[in-house]
Copies of this chain bind each other. A is one copy, B any other.
Amino acid sequence: MFEKNLQLSFLMDAYAGLLSERQQRVLDLYYNEDLSLGEIADDVGISRQGVRDSIKKAERELYFYEEHLGLVARDSAVREAGEHLLTLLGEGEAREAARTLLAVALGEDG
Contact = CB atoms under 8 A, between A and B. Distances in A.
Interface in A67-103: 68-71, 74, 77-78, 81-82, 84-85, 88-89, 93-94, 97-98, 100-102
A45 interface: no
This chain: copies in complex: 2
Given A18-B69, A77-B109, A101-B101, 7 more contacts: A17-B69, A18-B64, A18-B65, A77-B104, A78-B104, A94-B94, A98-B101
A18 B75 CA distance: 19
Interface residues of A, number: 29
Contacts of A64: 18
Contacts of A46: none
Given A84-B97, A94-B94, A68 B18 contact: yes
A44 interface: no
